[in-house]
Structure 1
Amino acid sequence: MLVFSRQAVGAFLAVCLCISGVGLLQYPRLQKLIAIKKNVSLETLEKEINQEKTRLNLLKKTPSFGYDNLIANWVYLNFLQYFGDDEARAKIGYSLSPEYFEVILKRDPRFLQAYLALSNSTSMYAAMPERSIRLMEEGLKSLSPKVPQRAYYVWRYKGIDELLFLGNSQASEQSFTEAASWASKYIDEESKKIAYLSYKTAKFLHKNPNSKYAQISTWTMVLNNQVDEKNRQRAIREIEALGGEVIKNDDGTIRIKLPEKD
């Protein structure tokens, strides 16, 4: 028992050293990214991003010694810092978003919160829905209806991206069908509602693969995902472009008025 304990401690120290080693290299650079000012040249930003990408590639190969979740959580925090640097992102974009999630979801494919951030950052901001969907497909191989709890949301995020960004109604229909199937394994009200809505969406897509109503409904799902203000405004614009109307109720909630014709 004592030998096992020493091995466990040794492994833990090893992975911490690996993370710390990469972190010591990464942290100063990351802080520079956060502190970027408007007068920093595009060339300097590109250099910083290339260095960050190199470090993320190193993390993909770093041994975990059984502490994959620790690495995934740490990289996710780094992603939040990267994503939140609005000045730098406005200049050079969000191209590193999927690189962060390759590390995160490889280490912890059951990290449910990461899938929503993946969809928002990679499909909507980085304009790489194919990459986002591939990462979800890979992650889903390690999920089951109840592992993690409410894993059905991953199928919904995938279905949303397939319909809105790829226009692939057939793939989206299949994803919403899976979401309905997985959600039906639960007995709580939230899951029952998701199962019903997912089933209805899949059925509607089957009958009307090119439906504006289906696209409006899916953009409404984006609004209901509590996205940031930029994505919220985009969803509203997309709904209006499809002929829908976003109406704000007195209590702060919204309702969608569909166009007269689909």
Structure 2
Amino acid sequence: MSDRVLVVLPTYDEVGNLRRVLERLHASVPDAHALVVDDASPDGTGALADALAARDPRVHVLHRTAKAGLGRAYVAGFRWGREHGYDVLVEMDADGSHAPEQLPALLRALADADLVLGSRYVDGGRVEDWPLHRLVLSRVGNRYTRWALRLPLRDATGGFRAARAELIDRLPFDEVASEGYCFQVDWAWRALRSGARVTEVPITFSERTWGRSKMSGPIVGEAWARVTMWGVQDRLADWLPGRVRPPLAGRAGVPGR
């Protein structure tokens, strides 16, 4: 592969998962580089990342001084990646929920796309080992997001995705204030409105085997509130004079469908 690929891995208390995730990543995509964006993890994740980077030139570390949220971690990682000349930026969880073995499928799909979403809810996608309440919350949240924002996406909240650097460069990430999984909705929506070609490919999502989920009530509440606000604004733009809403000019689809 000629493109330089950077996998951005935000971390907070992932010392039990990080080494194995990086091993699996480099077994699956040997040429990929990884950037660990650590939010001053008290469990020593940052120190482990430094030790791994000292032994492997494909591993890099960006230390932040406090836990400032998933969205800001990814934006910092994207900026670092572009400053260092990477052509493809990948989002992937550091807790093992996203299988690095499926990354080649996302990278292949970039041949005909600007943004590829790893999707749990297209044909062939699935979720393993989640409690029923988490699965219901995710399913309902995605359906509501699809309806409220009129998005042609089955899994807008997923965090396993790959993007071309040109798309990253033209999206206004300084305006993206969302945290948690709402960040994923926010920038997928912006990508489609910018005219980007967005594709979903099926993935298998597995519950973490070590550590605790970062999902919380405030994160869920932020997502519902922001998606509702965006949906209302979007529909008002259809009716109020002088309000111009750019169309969803991008193309969304699933390979082979």
TM-score by length of 1: 0.28
- CA radius of gyration, larger in: 1
Q: Which has the higher helix share?
A: 1
Higher relative contact order (CA 8 A, sep 6+): 2
